[in-house]
Amino acid sequence: MSLENIAPSSPVIHIRGLKKSFGNNAVLRNFDMDLNPGENVVVLGKSGSGKSVLIKCIIGLMQPDEGDLLVFGDNVPTLSHDDLDKMRVKVGFLFQSNALYDSMTVRENLEFPLRRHWIRTGKENVNDLVMEALTNVGLADTVDMMPGELSGGMRKRIALARTLILKPKIILYDEPTTGLDPITAKEISNLMLDIQKKYNTSSIIISHDMNCVRITANRIVMLIDGYCYANGTYDELKRSDDKRIRQFFD
Amino acid sequence: MKSGFLYNLLTETADIYRFALRFFKEGFRPRYEFGELIRQCYYIGNKTLGLVGITGFIMGLVITIQSHPSMEAFGAESWLPSVVSVSLVREIVPVITALICAGKIGSGIGAELGSMKVTEQIDAMEVSGTNPFKYLVVTRVFATMLMIPLLVILSDTIGLYGAYLGVNMKQVVSFHLFTNQVFEKLTYADVMPSIIKSFFFGFAIGIIGCFKGYNTTNGTQGVGRAANSAVVAATFVVFLIDLMAAQIADILHIT
Ligand SMILES: Nc1ncnc2c1ncn2[C@@H]1O[C@H](COP(=O)(O)OP(=O)(O)O)[C@@H](O)[C@H]1O
Ligand SMILES: [Mg+2]
């Protein structure tokens, strides 16, 4: 099913009762959440609480043990490999470590996701797509550089450009500002808002950087002890007097 | 502790076996990554050509010089070229070339795939619709399987030139006479097993390097460990294959 034939109000990602453990380590215990069209949802949780595991399950890099995980109405854990690839064209993933291919130039990095779609795009359009994505992250002049020559903030932007090149409808951000200085972190947060408007995307943003959360979040889901502990806007949760919620805001 | 070691060895062997099965399953099914295969072949050749050539030359020269006194003692100096060339082609050159490649290529593959693994580049390929096993592993294993036999043939040739030089240090022998003496004894039955053997050397080096790199854990520290253990395991397996090849050749009377 594609986005077009879903009613506008129904969620693009729908998760119920998600469970995932590694041996005795139960990471996700009964996790529920929805992502509505056009929305930026921040998943907030301590380090090691299973945030990365959650979005890796969504993109199909990990197989959950139990639960429903619907992306555009398709249950991800049951998809065949080909259908999974089709789903992944619509869902971009920004890795915490950027995962830029360090043996390739910026251009080759951006072209890599297009390999699968050469035929559809046509080779002559590839350059336009690369330049469009780079321009949208403000780094058009780095196209022939190697990732190793770029600063941390620039690498994050290139990684975002590589995600944007397939024009995804959903973007999953894994700690997009971790390891960046506060000023660069703020620039990246604002860039994420720009992208939301320009590309009309919905996003799940994993973070514990409260500045980033304040800027980007339309709604916050708190992942504590493997389930959705709280759910609300930044201001709602900030006013809460629950100790476990407060500790993120103080 | 002893049983722990044995346990680890056996589970590791089983894991490599499964990894190799996956290689055969995915390697012969489209889509094929020809461009990347050519790039890897070029890279392997480019990286080892000089070293393999020089080593081959030195081996040919040294073995000839060292065999000369004993051949002379038996009055069998005219046999020197054929004896030396048979031992070079059958054993010394393939094994030395494989060991050099285990060191240079095995560790290179282990480190490269290992760092791609820990920096999530392999996951990134997966989510952008390219099968990383096909793109990274299948191409590298085919590349080592193709290139190591070629390097062995090259090194054989250079090694024979080294032997020619070695023979000429004690007496003057024309190149024509030298080649005649060499090919009196050196036949396809010597060359073919050695090429087939190097094919397996290449497979072992590629698959072990890829296995170690592809299964790297524990961050940067793990990358070093992957590179290191790839060399150790590949070296060991090269000798193991050599031992088996000698037995099989013996049973089949290819002597
Ligand atoms: N591949 C894996 N194998 C075993 N345990 C894992 C694996 N991936 C993650 N874990 C465990 O899952 C827990 C959550 O990890 P993660 O989702 O990366 O945390 P974070 O919320 O910081 O992103 C951690 O305890 C981690 O040890
Ligand atoms: Mg994480």
Q: Where are the domains of chain A?
A: 3-98+167-246
Judge whether B172 lies within some domain. yes
Number of H helices, E strands in chain B: 11, 0
Residue B158: the pLDDT is 96
Confirm or reject CATH 3.40.50.300 for domain A3-98+167-246, answering yes or no.
yes
Ligand 1 atom closest to residue A56's alpha carbon, by position in its atom list = 17
Residue B236: the pLDDT is 95
Residue A9: the pLDDT is 67
Residue B206 buriedness (CB in 10 A; 0-12 / 13-18 / 19+) = buried
Judge whether B236 lies within some domain. yes
Q: Do B130 and A116 touch (CB under 8 A)?
A: yes
| Structure confidence by residue, pLDDT tens digits, A221-238 | 999 998 888 898 988 888
Residue ranges in B28-79 assigned as alpha helix (H): 34-73
Looking at residue B19, its amino acid is F
For residues B47 and A171, what is the distance between their CA atoms, to the nearest angstrom? 40
Q: Are B241 and B197 in contact (CB under 8 A)?
A: yes
The total number of structural domains that make up chain B: 1
Judge whether B1 lies within some domain. no
Residue B1: the pLDDT is 47
Average pLDDT over residues B138-145: 96
Judge whether B231 lies within some domain. yes
Residue B218: the pLDDT is 87
Q: Are B106 and B208 in contact (CB under 8 A)?
A: yes
Judge whether B9 lies within some domain. no
Residue A1: the pLDDT is 41
Judge whether B2 lies within some domain. no
State the distance from the centre of ligand 1 to the C-alpha of B209, rounded, in angstroms.
26
State the distance from the centre of ligand 1 to the C-alpha of A90, rounded, in angstroms.
25
For residues A229 and A44, what is the distance between their CA atoms, to the nearest angstrom? 10
| Structure confidence by residue, pLDDT tens digits, B107-119 | 999 999 999 999 9
Average pLDDT over residues B143-161: 96
Residue A8: the pLDDT is 54
For residues B113 and B137, what is the distance between their CA atoms, to the nearest angstrom? 9
Centroid of chain to Cα A59: 9
Q: Whose CA is nearest to atom 20 of ligand 1?
A: A48
Q: How far B125 CA sits from the closest chain A CA (Å)? A: 8
Average pLDDT over residues A64-69: 93
* pLDDT above 90 for B121: yes
* pLDDT above 90 for B60: yes
Residue B216 confidence class, pLDDT cut points 50, 70, 90: very high
Q: Do B119 and A89 touch (CB under 8 A)?
A: no
Ligand 1 atom closest to residue A45's alpha carbon, by position in its atom list = 21
Cβ contacts of B250 within 8 Å, gap of 6 or more: none
| Structure confidence by residue, pLDDT tens digits, A176-208 | 999 889 999 999 999 999 999 988 999 999 998
Ligand 1 atom closest to residue A50's alpha carbon, by position in its atom list = 17
Q: What residue numbers bound the domain in which B123 lies?
A: 15-24+36-249
Which amino acids bring their CB within 6 angstroms of ligand 1? A 22, 25, 27, 45, 47-53
Lowest mean pLDDT among A232-246, B37-51, B107-121, B237-251: A232-246
Q: How far A100 CA sits from the closest chain B CA (Å)? A: 6
Q: Which of A97, A102, A113 lies at the smallest CB-CB distance from B129?
A: A113
Q: Whose CA is nearest to atom 16 of ligand 1?
A: A50
The CA distances from residue A235 to A215, B192, B205, B249, in Å, are 12, 77, 58, 78
Q: Do B124 and A88 touch (CB under 8 A)?
A: no
Looking at residue A76, its amino acid is V
State the distance from the centre of ligand 2 to the C-alpha of B210, rounded, in angstroms.
26
Residues of B in contact with A101 (CB under 8 A): 116, 121, 124
Residues of A in contact with B140 (CB under 8 A): none
Residue A241: the pLDDT is 86
Average pLDDT over residues B9-34: 91
Q: How is the beta sheet containing A227-232 ordered, strand by strand?
A: A74-75, A66-71, A13-22, A25-35, A227-232, A219-224, A40-44, A202-207, A170-174, A91-94
Residue A3: the pLDDT is 46
For residues A110 and B134, what is the distance between their CA atoms, to the nearest angstrom? 20
Residue B115: the pLDDT is 95
Judge whether B31 lies within some domain. no
Q: Which token pair is A86?
A: 């089709």
Residue B25 confidence class, pLDDT cut points 50, 70, 90: very high
Chain A (60-99) residues lying within 8 Å, Cβ to Cβ, of chain B? 60-61, 85, 88-89, 93, 95-99
Q: Are A175 and A144 in contact (CB under 8 A)?
A: no
Residue A208: the pLDDT is 86
* pLDDT above 90 for B32: no
Report pTM: 0.89
* pLDDT above 50 for A174: yes
State the distance from the centre of ligand 1 to the C-alpha of A47, rounded, in angstroms.
9
| Structure confidence by residue, pLDDT tens digits, A27-53 | 999 999 999 999 999 999 988 999 999
Which of B158, B193, B209, B167 has the alpha carbon at shortest distance from B51?
A: B158
Say which residue the tokens 């504590």 belong to.
Answer: A224
Residue B2: the pLDDT is 53
Average pLDDT over residues B19-30: 91
The sign of the torsion formed by the CA atoms of A194, A163, A134, A167 equals negative
